[in-house]
Every structure is written in C-alpha cells, then in structure tokens.
C-alpha cells in the first residue's frame, strides 16, 4: 500500500496537479496506513484472529499510539534521508545489512509495548 501511495504522489507531482486538498488527504491516509502496518505482524503472530479483525485492531492501535507512531516514522525517515545524503554509495549496503533490521526492531519494539500495554498478553 505504501508503494501505491508513493506512485500516486509521484504521478501527482509529475502531472503538476493543483489539487492540494487531494494531496494532503492522500498523504494523511498513506501515513495512517503506514503506521497501522506497524501492528499487523505482531497481531498476527500473537493472537488468533480473522484477518479483518487484525486490520481493524492495527488501525485502532495506530490511532491510540499516534504520537509514538509519528515519532518512530519520522525517526526512521530522517535516518534514511541522512544516510542517503551523507553516504550515497554505501547507503545501498546499509539498507541491506542495517536499515531493514534496525527499522524492524524499532517498529516491533514500539508496537509490542503498545500491544502489551493495552491487552492482557
């Protein structure tokens, strides 16, 4: 879903649309979906629920823990941008060996704290 948002935003800027309301709405939906995706895997692994319930609960967790989710999302984006600008050639190697693992660890750490705080696990 994040790839679809990226392609939409790229097309939006490429065709230089002037509908800023649609850009803001799509950006907010993409951010919320990205934050909800933080919780999908931990909920699937931890609980035995139908997929519809997993998506509903992950969306609820995204709104309940909005400040933490935004902080993690901004932190990961800033780390990626910094490393891409500071070490452009090494950035590809860093993505493969470091950034994917660091991002997953950070997201799961925050997600598991939120899940364990709001449930009886």
Q: Are 17 and 23 in contact (CB under 8 A)?
A: yes
Domain that holds residue 81: 2-118
The region of weakest confidence among 11-15, 82-86, 99-103 is: 11-15
pLDDT by residue (tens digit) across 43-60?
A: 999 889 999 999 999 999
Output the CA angle 78-32-37, nearest 5 degrees.
85
Beta-carbon contacts of residue 88 (< 8 Å; ≥ 6 apart):
none
Give the per-residue pLDDT at 5: 60
Higher pLDDT among residues 10 and 46, named by residue: 46
**Overall number of domains in the chain:** 1
Percent of the chain with pLDDT over 70: 87
């Amino acid at each position: 879903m994040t790839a679809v948002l990226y392609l939409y935003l790229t097309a939006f800027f490429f065709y230089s649309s002037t509908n800023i309301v649609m850009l803001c709405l799509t950006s907010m939906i993409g951010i919320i979906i990205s934050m909800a995706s933080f919780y999908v895997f931990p909920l699937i692994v931890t609980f035995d629920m139908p997929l519809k319930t997993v998506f509903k609960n992950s969306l609820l967790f995204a709104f309940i823990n909005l400040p933490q989710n935004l902080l993690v999302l901004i932190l990961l984006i800033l780390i990626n941008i910094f490393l891409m600008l500071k070490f452009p050639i090494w950035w590809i190697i860093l993505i493969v060996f470091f950034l994917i693992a660091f991002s997953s660890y950070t997201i799961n750490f925050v997600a598991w704290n939120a899940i364990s705080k709001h449930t009886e696990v």
